[in-house]
Structure 1
Amino acid sequence: MRRVLNDLKIMILANLWIVPVVAALVWALFQFVAPPPPMSASMATGTQGGAYQQFAERLKEELAKEGFELHLVPTSGSRDNLQQLLADAPQVQIALVQSGLERQLAPAEQQRLESLGAIYQEPLWLFYRLYRREASLDRIADLLPLRLGLGGEGSGTRAASDAILGANAIAPEQYPATWQSLGGGKAARALLAGELDAAFFVGPAENALVQQLAASPDIALAHFRRAAAYEARLPFFNRVTVGEGLLDLASNAPDRDIVTLAPVATLVVNEEFNPGLVPLFLAASREVMKNGTLLDAAGAFPSAEPRTFELHQDAEHYYAKGLPILQRYLPFRIASLADRYIILLIPLIVVMIPLVKAVGPIYQWRIRARIYRWYKHLREIDRKLHAGSLPAELDSEIERLEQLEDELAAVEVPLSYSNELYELHMHLRYVIERLRALQQRRRDAPQHAPSSLAPSADRD
């Protein structure tokens, strides 16, 4: 047992060179492997109590299940969200943005942002007061004499209403004085109080304001009869059919099938957003939207279409192949670390294969070097014997070899190399005996022997 442990010790000491080599390789590879993604981020949410803020709250809850902390930053709406993302020192990395707003950005600004996909449809609702039961809005031009709420400044509603009006050749400088930059709860209250005749709203069908207005007997919902024409000219709008009674069955609102237009709420990220978080956010968004909405089928969102900003490369991979394999079975934090260790392991294995193959030959060379280096002394004496150049007195040479023999006795090699060590002992003893025999012949030789015979005697 002691011998086995000794052999193991020799083997470890002979291969210690591989430890700094592997350490250097691991250090070098860690310099090129991206660090694990952070476990927190900030999201611009829109107005307090709005649809964006409600979605963000549910998204935050889903992410918290994975130990991820999402900070919510209230804003004034979609346009403000874009400004937050494009700030010189952005405090947010992700936001919901209404489709169509990207058209208002310069190309350089568009290139700084990427989309993770559409999250849900947010229809454009045009509600108006019924002064006569038979009254209706047939065309957008019918709004000109009315008191109209366009949506708040900087809001997605205002961007959508401006686009609709612009398609009808009604520019902002032509807006009547009775049109107001009013939206959200203020516009709804003014409409219900009779202070407005009509107002635009953007939001899902489940939105509390939409439900409240739809249930009012004095309020009707406009039908976009020319929705196909708007869709052709404004590609960020989709036609959406709102079935009879969909908004409120009790009051049968709307009282007939109507068609409206819908942009989509899109998850947009800036350059500060870590790509490793893309699958996590999309999986959480899918969980939030798994049951769909009144207008969106279950499982329809998030979706790569329609595209607004350029789709993030990792988002494209998610829509094509789903979650990374490890994230399907492991918590996000563990899976993200494992992904990076696997990336690290592959090149390490590639480099380690030839190193491991070299361990055997190098180990063999290092062990044999403990033996073979002694042959240098024997070779020197053998050459001197052959050349007849050994000194007349051989005592010093014999003493030198006997010292080597004593040193050789302390050399340790594994059992598998013992035969070579013993062969060295035999060769060393053979040379010593040979020198002693030569020394004895020199002593026995006549003192008057010709000197020319000495070289031949040395070669004996």
Structure 2
Amino acid sequence: MPQVFRNSLLSLRDMIVSAGPLALLPVLLLALAYWWLQPTPPKTVVLATGPAQSAYEAFGKRYQQALAAEGIAVHLLPSEGSLANLQLLREGRADLAFVQGGTAVLQPEDHEQLRSLGSLFVEPLWLFYREKAARRVAPSGRLDALPQLQGLHVNVGTEGSGVPTLMDKLLDANHLDAKALQLSRLEQTPATVAFLAGDIDVLVFASAPESPMVQMLLQTPGVRLMDFAQHEAYGRRFPFLTPVTLPRGVVDLAGNVPAADVRLVASTTALLAREGTHPALLQLFAQSAQGLHGGAGWFNRAREFPSTRHNELTIAPEADRAINEPVPLLQRYLPFWLA
């Protein structure tokens, strides 16, 4: 072997030995950054929903299906409702959850540990009553004010639903002592069974109109929905409530259900996430919300939701971009984990 070639090989070997560790250092740093920053999201996420047959459960299944298309498994965690969902977030047992405005008192730490992905839909307070029972307090069999509930058996749901807290505020505004009502706190499904059997006079719960329970009760003979004649006043007295109207015939045009406009009060439900939830997941949920909640509904026009307005908690930047800005170019053609 020529001496010159031999010397060249020796020089190359020495260079590799001396420079090799330096060349590996950037690779190691990149690997460390990849592990530390977690650029790819986890493949599973926990979403707290609500009781069986509720709108929260129905929407949870839709998010589950939407994110499955992106390779994300959404584990649905049933609960009593809004207030229970907030507690699940606080305890770290859920990553995201549906929470209704006005059903809980937010703690200072909530503003640090939780973020909103925007308000998703209007959730009216549904007060269904049996017309036969209503005749005991109103000869017409029609109820349009909370003081008329005195003497009736009223189910306001479990504490975890948040409805008892909301009803306490409304009763107090009407100078009504809860003791003047025969209150029960059954879960929604057994309460509905008891209501239809005649054991309960009034059924109160908050839900989006997509709830199968709402759809069924609106078309049940002998069952009426209370018309909140003072719904505008409630909206002025309580910042978390909005006066809404269920239009005549919107449930069933052919059957003219309801037969007249019904005035209601409603709050908006937001999708909340724990601080530290992977940004890509927040963006994916917010983008999915566009398709799931962007259409017209009984109480809103198309593209009113999801919305970054009227939120009690700080909007996550990922949600703000997803809701208020166009979809990034790469995400239109590539899977989100590549874009």
| TM-score of Structure 1 vs Structure 2, range by shorter chain | 0.7 to 0.9
- Residue in 2 aligned with 1:153? 159
Q: In 1, Cα distance between the equivalents of 2:52 and 2:144? A: 34
Indicate yes or no: 2:188 matched with 1:184: yes
CA distance in 2: counterparts of 1:21 and 1:324, whole angstroms = 37
| Aligned partner of 1:329 among 322, 333, 339 | 333
- Which residue among 209, 222, 225 is the counterpart of 2:226? 222
Does residue 171 of structure 2 align to residue 170 of structure 1? no
82, 91, 94: which is aligned to 2:93? 91
What is the rounded CA distance, in whole Å, between the counterparts of 1:254 and 1:333 in structure 2? Answer: 46
Equivalent residue of 1:334, what SS?
coil
Q: Deviations over 1:372-431 (max 9, x none)?
A: xxxxxxxxxxxxxxxxxxxxxxxxxxxxxxxxxxxxxxxxxxxxxxxxxxxxxxxxxxxx
Distance in 2, matches of 1:320 and 1:291, equals 16
Aligned with 1:101 (options 95, 100, 103): 103
Any unmatched runs of 5+ in structure 2?
Answer: none
Letter in 1 for 2:281: L
SS in 2 for 1:284: helix
Question: Are residues 289 and 105 of structure 1, via their aligned partners in 2, closer, same or farther at CA, if it must alter by over 3 Å?
Answer: closer
CA distance in 2 between counterparts of 1:180 and 1:259 reads 25
* Distance (Å, rounded) in 1 between the aligned partners of 2:208 and 2:42: 32
Letter of the aligned partner of 2:140 in structure 1? E
Q: Aligned with 1:301: secondary structure?
A: coil
Find the counterpart in structure 2 of residue 194 from structure 1: 198
Considering only CA atoms, is the larger Rg found in Structure 1 or Structure 2? 1
Alpha-carbon distance between aligned partners in 1 of 2:209 and 2:125, rounded to the nearest angstrom: 10
- Deviations along 1:31-90, one digit per CA (max 9) or x if unpaired, are 446222212111111112321111111111110111111111111211111111111xx2
**Is 2:311 aligned against 1:311?**
no
Find the residue that maps to 2:265 and give its secondary structure: strand
Alpha carbons of structure 1 residues 153 and 328: separation in structure 2 relative to 1, 3 Å: same
Letter in 1 for 2:148: D
Larger % of helix: which?
1
- Matches of 2:12 and 2:170, distance apart in 1: 79
State the alpha-carbon separation in 2 of the partners of residues 288 and 187 from structure 1: 29
TM-score w.r.t. length of structure 2? 0.85
Give the aligned partner of residue 76 of structure 1: 80
How far the C-alpha of 1:177 sits from its partner, in A, is: 5.5
Alpha-carbon displacement from aligned partner over 1:224-282 (angstroms, at most 9, x marks no partner): 12222211222222221111122334543322112211122211111341122111111
- Answer yes or no: is the 8 Å Cα contact 1:239–1:261 preserved in 2: yes
What is the alpha-carbon root mean square deviation over aligned residues?
A: 2.8
Q: Distance between the aligned counterparts of 2:127 and 2:221, measured in 1?
A: 15
- Tell me, which stretches of 5 or more residues in structure 1 are unaligned? 336-460
How many Å separate the matches in 1 of 2:62 and 2:307? 18
State the structure with bigger RCO (CA 8 A, min sep 6), 1 or 2.
2
Aligned residues: 325
Q: Is 1:286 paired with 2:290?
A: yes
Identical aligned residues as a percent:
33
1:417-456 residue pairs with structure 2 within 5 A?
none
Question: 210-219 or 76-85: which moved more?
Answer: 210-219
CA–CA separation in structure 1 for the residues paired with 2:290 and 2:55: 16
Give 1:370-381 correspondences, 5 Å limit: none
Structure number with the higher strand fraction is: 2
- The residue type paired with residue 294 of structure 1 is W
Query: How far is the alpha carbon of 1:15 from its aligned partner?
Result: 8.3
Distance in 1 (CA, whole Å) between partners of 2:109 and 2:170 is 26
